[in-house]
Amino acid sequence: MVPPRRPGGHQVIPRPADWSIGPDPAWPIGVQPSVADLIAGLDDGDYPKLADLVRASAVLVLIHNSDAGPELLLTRRADTLTHHRGEISFPGGRIDPGESSIEAALREASEEVGLDPTTITVHGRLRSFRTAGSHHDVIPHVATIDHRPTLTPYETEVARIIWVPIAELTRPDTYRSERWAIGAASYVLHFFYLDDETVWGATARILNDLLARAASHTSSG
C-alpha cells in the first residue's frame, strides 16, 4: 500500500491541463546513501567560463554529514522576488561575464546565506541542464562541509535557510514524478513533498540526479 503523501508547502505548482503521474524514481525508496556515495561519480573540475552564454546559472549543492546522516542546504526564496518567489532552491544564481561556474556558485552562496567559501570542499559537478521554462543553463556544483555553519539569510532574497536530511527525501511518502504535456513537448518533473515545503522544478531535478548517481555508485560498488 502506498503511504499518503506528505502535505508539502504553499508553493504554487502551475500544472498544465494535460498531466499524469510519472515513473518511479531511479533510486531506492527508503535508502539513505552515504556522503561517499553522494560525491562519487561527479564530473571533475570547473565548468568553462561562460561569458558567451547570456542565461547561465550555477548552484551549490552543499552536504553536511550530521549525526543522523547526510543533510543538504536549501533555501526558500523571498516572496518579494520577481521570479520563482517562495520556491525552494539551492544557493546560486547568474554567472557574471568572465566568471566560472564554481566562482559564481561560491559567490552567490556567500551573498545569499553568508557561507564562507574557505570552509567547504568542492568535489565536482552534476550534469548541467537547460530549464524548460526560463531556458537557463544550470550547472550544479557539489561540495561538503565538516561542521554545520551559522548562516544568515540575505533577507531581500532568502526567506528561510533549511537543512534537509537525505533520509527525509527518500521517505516513501515524499517523492513523486509527473509527466507534463505542453504543446507538442512532454516533460517529466520531480517533486519532493516535505512536511511544510514542496521542492520542485530545477531544484527537484538536481536532487533526483544526485540521488540517482548515488544509487548507481552504491549498486556498482
Q: How far apart are CA 2 and CA 91, in angstroms?
A: 33
pLDDT, residue 97, reads 85
pLDDT number for residue 47? 59
User: What span, in angstroms and rounded, lies between the C-alpha atoms of 30 and 34?
Assistant: 13
Joined together, the cell numbers standing for residue 53 give 552564454
CB 113 within 8 A of CB 161: yes
Instruction: Give the three cell numbers for residue 210.
Output: 544526485
Domains, the chain, in order of start with CATH, read: 20-219 (3.90.79.10)
Whether 70 contacts 32, CB under 8 Å: yes
Residue 6: pLDDT above 50?
yes
> In terms of Cα–Cα distance, which of 151, 170, 159 is closest to 69?
170
* pLDDT at residue number 51: 45
217 — pLDDT class (breaks 50, 70, 90) = confident
Average pLDDT of the chain is 90
H-helix or E-strand spanning residue 141? strand 137-145
